[in-house]
Amino acid sequence: MKPWETFQPLTILRNVGSLNIRMMELDEVTDRIRYGKFCSPVRSSQDFVSKSRMLKPRSYKRLKNLVEGNRPVEQLSEMHKHLLRFARSFESFAPWKQEMGFLAEETPPCPHFRYPRDDSWPHPYSVDNLSFLEKNLREAYTASQRFDSMKFKSLRADIVQYLQPQYNRIVTASRLLVDAIKFEKFW
């Protein structure tokens, strides 16, 4: 894991009085960490410093300014939930709507869903058959979990642009229906 990835969760903090990140002293390291089962033992402070995952000064300053500042927090996981709900609103077949995006989410769909799984229909949201929409929803989920707002916003724009023609057809049909109802009421 790269140093920036280690500190990435701190980017959702704001208005922190003073952020100070420092190297841990060797005597502050517990024996469990120092002689851990899955890591090589750290015996000297020089060895400890060489294994550091500290940020470079420029990245640290950027993180410090962000965390101590007043900029709004972009909650990408919430944005992804809204994006998924938006995309699901364009799917009319209930079993597919239920399963759309579930491999990107933490919880799979309920196995006791009222529609039994029917393999005779070509299922567009299966692992073997990823549509443009499903692929981008999964990538957007990954970007939201990695706090990569630029990639998430780019994928969100692609998804909205992909669904725009379908939305336009729905709006046109709605207007035609309203006009027909008004015309019938007039006569």
pLDDT per residue of the chain (187 residues) written in tens, 0 to 9: 677 677 777 777 777 778 777 777 767 766 655 555 555 555 555 555 555 677 778 877 887 777 777 777 778 888 999 999 999 998 888 877 777 766 555 444 444 445 555 555 555 555 566 788 888 999 999 999 888 889 999 999 999 999 999 999 999 999 999 999 999 887 7
Domain boundary residue, one of 68, 90, 115: 68
Residues 111, 116, 122: CA angle, nearest 5 degrees: 110
Count of the separate structural domains present in the chain: 2
Give yes or no: residues 83 and 102 share one domain.
yes
Residue 163 sits in which domain range?
76-186
Give yes or no: residues 98 and 153 share one domain.
yes
Give yes or no: residues 7 and 40 share one domain.
yes
How many angstroms separate the CA atoms of 24 and 34, rounded? 12
Give yes or no: residues 135 and 48 share one domain.
no
How many angstroms separate the CA atoms of 16 and 22, rounded? 16
pTM here is: 0.58
